[in-house]
């Protein structure tokens, strides 16, 4: 016997089937989203742990142990083990007379990637690795690192390059690389270039902050925008112009008050002095 369904019942069955498929699709999408969230959280957790481990390794372990712990450093592309898409590197700049000081700081894994690209560390796959020095000490003693920093961090005044020098690389992870630049004249304006690490990956950036009264206060350096013009207040180890102006104004006011008091006292003495020939 053939069973016939009314059109209304047929539409209800089809509607229910469509609703069931839609609910099932939503459930699958929700599960997929949760799965991706769990994977992302796990990846972030592993990244944080890896960065912390690398930081401790570079600070405390010999260079050979650092390279052994971070096996990926032997790869030919150091930018792949660094973090160009993480927080930008930082730098601070200050001027005293004709001397400019810049301190550039980066994360531990970025320093290791830079040292590996410059040959500051031995390659454990090609030979023995010295364990007498820490990774930080090898960076400090590498002429290639000094040359690289002076090539990628520069200061120019009136179109001419200021003579640069790597002042210190001790306590590299805490205080950064400290460079000094001696310019021909006291700093009023200067062109500053920062392009460190951008040759490894163009995504690297550096945020430069000025100490003291200089403009702009903060500047972002990128691979495409690596030179910026900064303006400094006239300096030279003396008192800043604004302070000197206030001091000069105060001195003038003090002298004016002193003159008024002197005139009043003189008049008072003249009025009270006895006239010649008069009796007391």
In angstroms, the CA 47 to CA 87 distance is 13
Determine if residue 239 is left, alpha or beta; phi over 0 gives left, psi from -120 to 50 gives alpha, anything else beta.
beta
Task: Map tokens 């430069």 to a residue.
Answer: 208
In angstroms, the CA 187 to CA 189 distance is 6
In angstroms, the CA 188 to CA 95 distance is 9
Between the two ends of the chain, the Cα-to-Cα distance in Å is 155
Mean pLDDT, rounded, of the chain = 75
Which of these ranges, 15-24, 225-234, 262-271, has the smallest mean pLDDT?
262-271
Residue 119 scores a pLDDT above 60:
yes
Q: Which helix (H) or strand (E) holds 210?
A: strand 206-210
In angstroms, the CA 50 to CA 55 distance is 9
Helices and strands, counts by H and E, the chain: 7, 11
Q: Which residue has the higher pLDDT, 112 or 194?
A: 194
Average pLDDT over residues 150-177: 95
Q: Which residue has the higher pLDDT, 119 or 123?
A: 119
- Residue 64, both tokens: 């050979």
Q: How large a percentage of the chain has pLDDT more than 90? A: 42
pLDDT band at 200 (very low <50, low <70, confident <90, very high): very high
Q: What are phi and psi of 179, to 5 degrees?
A: -125, 150
Convert the pLDDT of each residue in 121-133 to its tens digit.
887 777 777 778 8
Q: Which helix (H) or strand (E) holds 66?
A: helix 63-69
pLDDT at 113: 92
Domain range annotation of the chain:
71-232
Q: Which residue has the higher pLDDT, 25 or 223?
A: 223
pLDDT at 106: 95
pLDDT at 76: 38
CA atoms within 13 A of residue 220's CA, in its CB half-sphere = 7
Residue 100 scores a pLDDT above 70:
yes
Task: Map tokens 């410059």 to a residue.
Answer: 118
- Residue 275, both tokens: 């006239």
Q: How large a percentage of the chain has pLDDT more than 70? A: 59
Convert the pLDDT of each residue in 29-65 to its tens digit.
777 777 676 566 555 555 545 555 454 444 544 444 4
Residue 277 scores a pLDDT above 50:
no
CB 102 within 8 A of CB 91: yes
User: What is the four-CA torsion angle of 59, 65, 71, 76, rounded to 10 degrees?
Assistant: 80
Convert the pLDDT of each residue in 248-263 to its tens digit.
455 455 455 555 565 5
């Amino acid at each position: 016997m053939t069973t016939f369904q009314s059109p209304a019942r047929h539409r209800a069955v089809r509607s229910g089937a469509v609703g069931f498929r839609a609910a099932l699709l939503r459930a699958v999408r929700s599960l997929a989203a949760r799965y991706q969230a769990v994977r992302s959280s796990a990846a972030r957790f592993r990244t944080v742990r890896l960065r912390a481990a690398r930081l401790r390794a570079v600070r405390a372990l010999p260079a050979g142990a650092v390279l052994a712990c971070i096996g990926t450093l032997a790869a030919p592309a150091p930018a792949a083990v660094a973090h160009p898409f993480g927080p930008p590197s930082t730098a601070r700049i200050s001027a005293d007379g004709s001397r400019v000081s810049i301190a550039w700081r980066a994360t531990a894994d970025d320093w290791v990637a830079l040292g590996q690209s410059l040959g500051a560390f031995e390659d454990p796959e090609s030979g023995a690795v010295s364990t007498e020095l820490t990774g930080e000490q090898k960076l400090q003693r590498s002429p290639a690192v000094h040359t690289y920093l002076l090539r990628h961090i520069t200061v120019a005044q009136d179109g001419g390059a200021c003579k640069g020098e790597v002042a210190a690389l001790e306590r590299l992870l805490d205080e950064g690389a400290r460079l000094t630049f001696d310019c021909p004249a006291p700093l009023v304006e200067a062109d500053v270039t920062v392009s460190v690490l951008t040759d490894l990956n163009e995504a690297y950036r550096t945020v430069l902050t000025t100490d003291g009264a200089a403009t702009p206060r903060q500047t972002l350096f990128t691979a495409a925008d690596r030179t910026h013009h900064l303006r400094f207040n006239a300096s030279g180890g003396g008192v800043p112009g604004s302070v000197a102006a206030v001091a000069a104004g105060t001195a003038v006011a003090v002298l004016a008050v002193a003159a008024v008091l002197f005139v009043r006292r003189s008049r008072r003495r003249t009025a009270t002095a006895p006239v010649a020939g008069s009796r007391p």
